[in-house]
Structures are given as C-alpha cells and as structure tokens.
Amino acid sequence: MSDSGQLSLVIVDDEAPARALLREYLAAETDVELVAECENGFEAVKAVADHRPDVLLLDVQMPKLSGFEVLELLDPCPAVIFTTAHDDYALAAFEVHAVDYLLKPFSRERLAEALQRVRENRASRPPLPRAELVDAARPAGAHLSRILVRSGSRIHVIAIDDVDFVEARDDRVRIRVGAEEHDKTEKLGRLETQLDPSRFVRIHRSYILNLDRLAKVELYAKDSRHAILHDGRKLPVSRAGYARLRELL
C-alpha cells in the first residue's frame, strides 16, 4: 500500500484497446502510478496480491473469471472502479461498494472524477462486505454454478456438479471434491442459501450433501442416522436433516 499522495493502480481488462485507452487517460494523472496491467481475472488476483494497489480499474465481462468473481477472491480488497459496456451490473456494483461504475465508452474527465472520489474516500472507505459479493453478481433466483477458492495465488474453479459435500469448519467451509478438499472463508448457512435446494441438502448442522452422491440412509441407533455415500463415506444426519431428505426423496 503506497503512502503519501501517490495512488497505485491496476488495470484489468481483456481487451487491448480498452487497456490502451485507460493508459492514455491515466498519463494525465500525475499522482497515479500504474503498477500492473492484467488481461484476465487470474492475473488480476495475482497482481493485487503482489502489488497491494490502492485502486483497481476492473472490467466485468472477462473470460473464466468475471470482475465480480475477482473481487470475491481479493483480500484485502482495494478501491474498485468498474469499467464496462454493460449497464446491467450498476446495482450489483453499488452493492459491493464500488467507488464508481464507468460505462464504456467514457471520457477522460469521467475517469478523473472517479479517481477524485477514490482520493476523497481514501481515509473513510468502508471495507467491502465480501459476503454479499457472490450474491450481487448473480441474477436473483439463480443458483451457484461454481465455487471459487483461492489458496495463495492459485485459484480453483470448482464446478458445482463436482462437489460431493461441504463441511463446516469454524469460520470456514471445507469443500470435498473426490479426494480433494478446498477450504474457503464462508459460512455454511450462507452457502446453503446459494445452492440449488433440490440438489444440495443440509443434512446436518455441519454438512451439506450433494444428493447425487447419496447411496442410502442408515439407522444406526434410535433417532441417529448416517448417510452412506456412493464411495462408502459416512456422514451424520440430524433429525431435521432427515426430515429435509425425506421431503426430497
């Protein structure tokens, strides 16, 4: 994080002309230091981790990782100015406390205005409420189709179909995919609300199960049941969880 009056900045856009334009506009901003240019979300996550910039100029529609998904993976998150040709994300951008939302094509003055806002808010900017990030970018009613997990500078994109079950671990969740497991800072209850309820069931306070993996439910003591998965693994099923399962099966 730079001190004094300098603003360090990273450009993220998959289109070369768009990056060139931003570069040109920024040349007039004497206090802005361009520390990295990224062509996609993966590069962006890495660049932010490496450079800890003050500002991110972020495109929304990019291959593999959208701008919103990039934000979900950043910790800490710099001030964000979205640059996009789509006006449909303005509300979502507002929800994730983006500093500004620039609609392409925009003028040099419009960018300068957004940067001015960053300078003014620098001291008082509230931290991004990351819990809302995933929700903001997804259309209302749509379920999660993949889960993004970051470990160091590596990013895993886990297709939701591949998830066997999810386990609560303190303030994190552990996502089980075959022999692999991925930890993510997230609450199990919140994740539950984002998943398709006809396919993922909260079978226990600490477990969400992908129904496709369920082989059978076994009673092993009075009122105590186990879910047996196709690969033989056993998960505890609570009484409420069993009721939910029965409703679906």
Partner 1 sequence: MHPILGQRTRLGAYLLAWIPLVLFIAALLREPQGLSVPAALLLVAPPTAVFSFVCLAAWFPCRALPLAGRPVASVLLAHGVSAACAAWLWFAVGLLWAAAWSGTTPAADLRTAWVDSTGLLLGLGFVLYLLSVAVHYLLHAQEQAAERQRQVLELDMLAQQAELKALRAQLQPHFLFNSLNSISALTSDDPGRAREMCLKLADFLRASLSEGKPSQVSLAQELELARGYLDLEKVRFGDRLRVREEVETEALSCRVPPLLLQPLVENAVLHGIAQLLEGGEIRLTARRVGEELELAVENPVDAEVSERPGRVGEGVGLGTVRRRLDAIYREKARMDYRVEDGRFHVRLVLPAEDAS
For the CB of residue 245, give the shortest distance to partner 1 in the complex, in Å: 24
Q: Does 153 bind partner 1 (CB under 8 A)?
A: no
Decide whether 9 or 237 has the Cβ nearer to partner 1. Answer: 9
Q: Does 16 bind partner 1 (CB under 8 A)?
A: yes
For the CB of residue 49, give the shortest distance to partner 1 in the complex, in Å: 19
ω before 17 within 30° of 0 (cis)? no
- Residue 149: HSE in the Cβ half-sphere, 13 Å Cα cutoff: 21
Task: Tally Cβ neighbours within 10 Å of residue 39.
Answer: 17
How far apart are the C-alpha atoms of 245 and 239, rounded to whole Å? Answer: 10
Q: Does 113 bind partner 1 (CB under 8 A)?
A: no
Q: Does 20 bind partner 1 (CB under 8 A)?
A: yes
Decide whether 21 or 71 has the Cβ nearer to partner 1. Answer: 21
CB 93 within 8 A of CB 86: no
Q: What DSSP string describes 87-113?
A: STTHHHHHHTT-SEEEESS--HHHHHH
Total binding residues toward partner 1, as defined by CB under 8 A = 23
Nearest to 175 by CA among 162, 163, 188, 189: 163
Which of 28, 91, 131, 157 touches partner 1 by CB under 8 A?
157
**CA atoms 225, 229, 235, 239: torsion sign:** negative
For the CB of residue 145, give the shortest distance to partner 1 in the complex, in Å: 9
Mapped onto helix, strand or coil, the DSSP state of residue 176 is strand
For the stretch 141-176, what's the b/e string if a residue is b when 16 or more beta carbons lie within 10 angstroms of its beta carbon?
Answer: eeebeebbbbeeeebeebebeebbbbbbeeeebebb
Q: Does 131 bind partner 1 (CB under 8 A)?
A: no
Q: Does 239 bind partner 1 (CB under 8 A)?
A: no
Which of 113, 161, 180, 231 touches partner 1 by CB under 8 A?
161
- Within 198-227, the residues that bind partner 1 by CB under 8 A are none
Which of 31, 63, 110, 113 touches partner 1 by CB under 8 A?
63
Q: Does 154 bind partner 1 (CB under 8 A)?
A: no
Contacting range for partner 1; rule: CB under 8 A; set: 16-24, 123-131, 182-190, 220-228: 16-24
Binding site for partner 1 (CB under 8 A): 14-18, 20-21, 24, 39-40, 42, 61, 63-64, 85-86, 103-105, 146, 157, 159, 161
